[in-house]
Each structure stands twice: as C-alpha cells, then as structure tokens.
Amino acid sequence: MGGPADRFAKDSWTAAVIGLGYVGLPFAVNATRRGIGVVGFDINGPKIAAILRGDSPIDDVADEDLLSALALGMVVTSDPAAIEGLDAYFICVPSPLGRNREPDLSNIRSAASLIAKVVGPGALVSLESTTYPGTTEDIILRSLTDAGLMLDTDVFVAYSPERVDPGSGLGISGIPKVVGGVSVTSGLVAAAAYGRLVDDVHLVSDSKVAELSKLLENTYRSVNIALANEMAQLADELDVSIWETIEAAATKPFGFEAFYPGPGVGGHCIPLDPQYLAWKAREVGGSIRFIDLAEQVNTNMPKYVVERTARLLNDRGQALKGSTVLAVGLTYKPNIADDRESPSVEVVELLVKRGVDVHVIEPMLTQASVEAHGVTALDDDASLVGIDLAIVLTDHDDVAYEAIAASVPFVFDTRGAYRKRGLSIANVVEI
C-alpha cells in the first residue's frame, strides 16, 4: 500500500461523522467499536441531547450499544470547533428530493462548506450520502479546492455509498463497502480507512462509479418490484395467485430472483434514489424509460390497493364509503419504527379521503404518530367488532394474524403475511 494510505491503515486516527441519522449514528457507533476515535456532529440540538443521554433515535442502534460507544469515548456535539483538524470526515447527511422531485443537495453543500473551514492537513473527506454521479467532484472537491486545499496533498476525497438495511440485524462492518476516490491516490487512502471500519472493501476506479453503483442497486430493486406489482395486477385479472406463481418461478436455480408485490415502495432509498439517476439522465439526454415506468407502477399501487378494497367490499354488497377498515402496519417495512415514504400511510390516507373509518394496528409506532394520519390506533388485543375488512399493509412479526382473521369478515393481505407463516385461511384474500 505505502504512502499516505499507511497512516489510515496502521496508525491511530480520529474521524468526524457529519450527520447522526439513520446512516451516521450506526456508522459512528461501529467506528468507535472498531477502535477509531469518533466525533459525531449534528446541528439538531434535541437529537444530540437524546444521544448523550443514551437514548438512541435510531432503531438499529440499541440504547446499550450507544451507551457503550459513549463509554469508549465517542464524542457527540453540535459545536463545529470540536471537529476542527481531525484526520477524516465522513458525510452522512440526508439527500432528499425537492418539491419537483429534483435532487436537494443543500445538506451536502452545507457539510462541504463546514468541512472546508475546519479540515486539517492530510485529511480524508468521504461522502456517503446518496446522490448522482459527479457530486463528489462538483461539490465536495470544489468546495475544498476553492478553500485553497490541494487534492492528494492537503486533502483526499472519495465517495462510498451507505449500505444499511434497517431492521435486518446486519451490522455495517459486515456489509461490503464500495469505495471510489476522485483520484487514484484518494481512492487508495479511502480504501485503507474503510478497511479499518468494515470487513470487505471493494475499490473502484473513481468516485463516479461508486456514485452510480448505489443508484443502480436501488433502481434494480425499484424496477423489479414494479414488475412484481404489475404482474400482481395482471394475475388478479386472470384469477391466478401471484404468490404461488412467484414461488414456482423461484424454484429455477438460475436466471430468476424473486421480488414480491405489495402496496407500493417506501423508505428513503427505493422511492427516491432512482429519481436522482433519472434527473441526471435527463440533464445529459440519457434514456430513463425503465425508471419512469417503474415509478409510475409503484406510485400507483396505493390507489390500486384502495380500488381493490372497494371491489372486495362491493362483491359483498357493501360500499367503501362508510365502511370500517382495519389497517395492519404503517411503517415501510416490517419490524421497524420508520414510516418515511411509506405506501401504507398513503393507503390509509386515501381510505380516509374516501370516507372510510380506518383503525390501525401498528406495534412499532406511538399512538400519537399513528393518529396523526386521521385514523384510530388500536392495541393488538383490541376488540375488532364492527370491522368490515382488514388490510395487511406491513407484515410485522408481532401481530396476531390468526386472531385478526378470526375476528373480521375477511382480510385483504397485500404482503403475503399469512402465506409466509404457513396459514391457509378461507377468508384471507391475497393481492
């Protein structure tokens, strides 16, 4: 390896983690566990206070793990002076879409501007936030060079896309890390640093490849989920079980990977990341037909679920308006307390707009956060007398599915929750 990379591969060093959200806090805790000095920085004062109390705002960081990291010396602060002159800076700030679904890079720009003011000589600056190819060069590198810093002498710059899977139990250190520098030397330095943080580093030729790889990962998922969703609608028209169809296709040991239908896609990654790629493609005149079509299919799924619900009720001589529906789950994936971009939320809000009295069982969220959507929150053991239909929107483990099916006239299962649990119940209708 040799050269400046040796410092990060062999010596002690201290890193600033900019942004202590779903990516940054797990990153900071993991780096502390791996023996790296860490200063976590965030501008959200109440979040900093909660973290210092050992009260983790992130599901994937248990309170005891947070307290352990703090005891090991992890510093958490909102004071820019605390990150001055450190050895490395990892940018883990949100990168949402704007009102017109254009990339909002304001948090990345703010982080780059801050780092340019406090960075020490020979430091590594690595962007982890999801973005389009060219961002690391255009924003991070430019901000640093505009401040008079010389690449590969005063500072090393790289991109390494975050890879977290909330609720899965997969730790950061066990997930292979793609790393790309804006130069060959920066890439080697970044790979050496990440080699101290994770078990497997995959070094690519430059930061643009690393940036595009992240968008490809989630666009791949978006497109294939859209295919499963479209096939589910076709299977309904053909009176064929889409779940049994997928199970049959998945027996092929090559050429097929199973993706499953549902009420849509949610979370920060799958609904948003392909739009970063689509925005950049439009800018350079590239083709984005698959991306646009996948978004159309996936964003239409909540409406399809509502229309299918209306049809199921109509088949039993009942109108959607004025009915009482139980929704099971609001979060975007099972067993986590995160409803960002959740299609389940959109389904219940559409039902409320259609005059439905919606009750919700959601074991992962507080009553207040559930009822903020204009619905009634129920405990798992609440009486279900008067419920006309139940819809499974998120298949949490901690739900009494058999009891629900026994208590309501019928269940519309959009997640295959009953099938996954080996339950074959006559009044359960699958998407």
Residue the block writes with tokens 């119940």: 425
Q: Which pair of tokens denotes residue 248? A: 């049959």
**Residue 423 one-letter amino acid:** L
Ramachandran quadrant class, 341 (left: phi over 0; alpha: psi -120 to 50; beta: rest): left
| Inter-residue contact 246 to 258 (CB < 8 Å) | yes
pTM of the predicted model, to two decimals? 0.92
The answer for residues whose C-beta is within 8 angstroms of residue 48's C-beta and 6 or more apart is: 20, 42, 76, 77, 78
Please, what are the domains in the chain?
Answer: 5-205 (3.40.50.720), 221-430 (3.40.50.720)
pLDDT tens for the chain, residues 1 to 431: 568 899 999 999 999 999 999 999 999 999 999 999 999 999 999 999 999 999 999 888 999 999 999 999 999 999 999 999 999 999 999 999 887 788 899 999 999 999 999 998 999 999 999 999 999 999 999 999 999 999 999 999 999 999 988 777 778 888 999 999 999 999 999 999 999 999 999 999 999 999 999 999 999 999 999 999 999 999 999 999 999 999 999 999 999 999 999 999 998 788 888 888 888 888 898 888 999 999 999 999 999 999 999 999 999 999 999 999 999 999 999 999 999 889 999 999 999 999 999 999 999 999 999 999 999 999 988 999 999 999 999 999 999 999 999 999 999 999 999 999 999 999 999 99
Contact 198, 177 (CB under 8 A): yes
Residues 6+ apart with CB under 8 A from 25: 40, 51, 56, 57, 58, 61, 66
The three-point CA angle 91-97-102 to 5° equals 115
pLDDT for the residue 1: 56
- Alpha-carbon torsion, ordered 334, 178, 222, 329, to 10 deg: 10
* Cβ-contact 88, 16 below 8 angstroms: yes
CA distance 430 to 303: 16
Whole-number pLDDT of residue 366: 94
The CA distance from 354 to 370, in Å, is: 18
- Beta-carbon contacts of 199 under 8 Å, excluding residues fewer than 6 positions away, are 173, 174, 176
Q: In what order do the strands lie in the sheet with 428-430?
A: 376-378, 357-361, 324-328, 389-392, 411-413, 428-430
Crossing angle (nearest 10°) for helices 207-238 and 273-284: 110
- Catalytic residue annotation: 269
- The residue whose two tokens read 């997928």 is 246
Q: Which of 245, 271, 275, 241 is nearest to 259 (CA)?
A: 245
